[in-house]
Structure 1
Amino acid sequence: MISTQDWADAQRLWDYHQMGHTPRACSVAIGLGSHDLGVADVAVDLYKRGMAPLLVFTGATSPTTRERMPRGEAVHYKERAIELGVPASAVMVEPRARNTGENIRFSQDLLTDAGIAVTSILLISKP
């Protein structure tokens, strides 16, 4: 059982870390791998609002996602985005990253190799 004080402390931390800003349009939105399909849902929302014309999902599997996302976090995110109406042509997948540093580096390599000019990005993590 979680105590009332623990809940209050958790809320205080959440409030402190919550950015509370309004996202701006960007060249590409990058969904960082995790156990939460909500990352893909937020990316889809940004796409549908015209704020991100291209989505990159990045992430391999980890011990915490292996059973739920056996094909890799990025692949499952892409499938979710397509299921929610994003065309496959608007989604790129980077399936190797195992940490945030690799998410960024490998996504940058993917975009550069594809010849995509990026002027701004929005990172999506743990919505």
Structure 2
Amino acid sequence: MSDIKIVDDFLSKAEVFYLATTKGDQPKCRPFGFHYLEEGKIYFTAATFKEVFKQIQENPKVEIVAYDKENDTFLRYYGIAKIVKKDKVVEKAFEEVPEIKEFFVKHNLELGVFYIDDATAEIRNELDIEKSYTFKY
């Protein structure tokens, strides 16, 4: 199994994970659920009108944290968010959560797509890093 697939599987198992950004010098963290592995990258989405997307544009340093209750481990996945145009990822997000598609279409809104570059993913227990992976695209 590839390193990025291990990270993707961890996110899937956690179901909900938390994305941290900053606004000025204030950290901001919010729950996310959608992610999509394609061509060796994990893609995430955020509404372009929301603060989280604006924060990513202003300061692309982000961190994701997820918890695996079964194994009592957590994932820290951090690096530089790269915003890209990926219609396939948007379509996949709308397929998985059809109610947001209706809302976005009705209000003529856009769903932004990003992946994390220059990234480190650490699978950790309470005391140590069990596994660490790096990704540079």
Structure exhibiting the larger radius of gyration computed from Cα positions: 1
Length-normalised TM-score, structure 2: 0.26
Normalized per residue, the structure richer in strand is 2
Length-normalised TM-score, structure 1: 0.27
Normalized per residue, the structure richer in helix is 1
